[in-house]
Amino acid sequence: MVLLNAATLVFFLNGNHHRPRPHGRQKVGPKNIVIEKLSFNAEQIAKYEQLITEHRVAINRNDSLMLAVRNGLYKQLVMQDSTEIELQLYAIGKLQKEVETLHFQHFQELRAICSEEQLPAFEELIDELAAFFNGGRQPQGKHPRPPRH
Give per-residue burial for 25-54: e unless 16+ CB within 10 Å, then b: eeeeebbeebbeebebeeebeebbeebbee
What was the pLDDT predicted at 7?
A: 40
What was the pLDDT predicted at 139?
A: 54
* Three-state DSSP state, 133: helix
Range of the domain at 121: 2-133
pLDDT values of the chain reduced to their tens digit, one per residue, 149 residues: 444 344 444 444 444 444 444 455 556 678 999 999 999 999 999 999 999 999 999 999 999 999 999 999 999 999 999 999 999 999 999 999 999 999 999 999 999 999 999 999 999 998 887 776 666 555 555 545 544 44
Residue 35's CATH number: 1.20.120.1490
- Determine, yes or no, domain membership for 138: no
CA distance 61 to 57: 6
CB 125 within 8 A of CB 33: yes
- Determine, yes or no, domain membership for 12: yes
CA distance 112 to 1: 30
What was the pLDDT predicted at 2?
A: 44
- Determine, yes or no, domain membership for 117: yes
- Determine, yes or no, domain membership for 149: no
Give per-residue burial for 78-89: e unless 16+ CB within 10 Å, then b: eeeeeeebeebe
- Determine, yes or no, domain membership for 108: yes
- Determine, yes or no, domain membership for 147: no
Q: Which of 65, 50, 140, 145 is nearest to 98 (CA)?
A: 65
pTM > 0.75: yes or no: no
